[in-house]
Amino acid sequence: MKKEDIIIYACVIIGAGVGLLFDNAFPGVLIGLGIGYVLKTMFVANTKE
């Protein structure tokens, strides 16, 4: 597991938790995955410069 992937995993878990509040975890997981990927891309791009 790469260090940068922790951001994605955390966002997916948070998204699933929020999705369970609305009785449907799958859309929350997908939204969390998208947000996690965007955040990972932003953080990795900033640290390489």
Average pLDDT, the chain: 89
Which amino acid belongs to residue 31? I
Taking CA atoms, 18 is separated from 12, 13, 28, 34, 40, in Å, by 10, 9, 6, 15, 20
pLDDT in tens, 1-49: 787 889 999 999 999 999 999 989 999 999 999 999 999 998 887 776 6
pLDDT at 44: 81
Q: Residue 12 class from Cβ within 10 Å (0-12 exposed, 13-18 middle, 19+ buried)?
A: buried
d(C-alpha 15, C-alpha 5), whole Å: 15
